[in-house]
Amino acid sequence: MRNLMVGISLVLALAGEPAAADTLYKCNYATSRTTKEPGKHDLFIQYDGRSDRAMAMDSFAYDPVRHPDLVPVRVRSLGGREFQLQWEVDDVRKGSYSSDLRYIARLDVQALSVDVTISPVSYPVPWHFTGACIAEKLK
């Protein structure tokens, strides 16, 4: 998790100045994990409301060498302040496991909540998480 936060911060700093409309959503999956380091998050979504573009990365796919950057996201408005987000991260490796990961997320920017389904292509059972987010305007 520490590497994810450091890596995402570095990517955002190196990416130059984002558009004034960019918002960074930092989300935590609700799991049985009892402790969470302060300032650490499971999912980052950078969204530009003016262009309707987004980038994302989560702690399952993040790797400082193989997958250090946010990846492009397909955005579809669901009406109101909710969006469906879809993205893929290829060849994610954790220990002896390797799979492409397919994500479908529903982001509610008013309630600051996320509902994410992660489907590992090489394994039959998808993972489902819900969680709370905090929003931070990027300058």
- The pLDDT tens digits of the residues spanning 73-119 come to 999 999 989 999 999 999 999 888 899 999 999 999 999 999 999 99
pLDDT of residue 18: 41
- Whether 52 has a pLDDT exceeding 80, the answer reads yes
Residue percentage of the chain with pLDDT more than 70: 80
> What is the model's pTM?
0.80
What domains, with CATH codes, occur in the chain? 2-137 (2.40.128)
Which residues in 40-81 belong to E strands, given as ranges?
43-48, 53-58, 71-77
Measure Cα distances from 66 to 69, 90, 92, 93, 135 in Å: 9, 10, 8, 9, 27
